[in-house]
Amino acid sequence: MNGNSLKFREKRTATRYPVALFVEFENGSGWTVDLSTTGALIETGQSFLYDAVIAFSVLQSNHDDAAVRLYCQGVVVRVEQDGEVWRVGVVMEAVRFEGVSSHFRTCSAY
């Protein structure tokens, strides 16, 4: 390895899907950049502290105008600022679904 290159170990455990879904926090909002079964990368106008536990909801609408809302809680594992935009990576600890049948409503962390 030369002095200009670094090797990073991949920590992701699930496939990420690029999708732009509306995200609501207690004091703000944003959009997902990508989403997986274990986490999310979110762009928002507000900053978060690394290692903080945060709660947010993700709104998914389908072609029938029915909406599914995911209520999520997770730990911030990445924080990057680009001008006024913050990219926040979250590993999810718990997810609760609203708007789907009851036996799919809650799942917990990995």
Annotate 55-94 with b (16+ C-beta within 10 A) or e (fewer): ebbbebeeeeeeeebbbbbbbbeeeeeeeeebebbbbbee
How high is the mean pLDDT in each 10-residue block of the chain (110 residues)? 47 84 94 95 96 94 74 96 96 86 45
The pLDDT value recorded for residue 64 is 63
The per-residue pLDDT for 30 is 97
- 49 DSSP assignment: -
Residue 94 has a pLDDT of: 93
Alpha-carbon dihedral 45, 46, 49, 51, rounded to 10 degrees = -70
State residue 5's pLDDT score. 45
Picking from 57, 53, 94, the residue whose alpha carbon sits closest to that of residue 76 is: 53
Task: Could you please state the CATH topology (level 3) that the domain comprising 17-108 is classified under.
Answer: Thrombin, subunit H (2.40.10)
49 phi and psi angles, rounded to 5 deg = -85, 140
Predicted confidence at residue 7, as pLDDT, reads 47
Q: What is the dihedral of CA 29, 89, 18, 33, to 10 degrees?
A: 30
Domain ranges, ordered by start, for the chain? 17-108
| pLDDT score recorded for residue 40 | 96
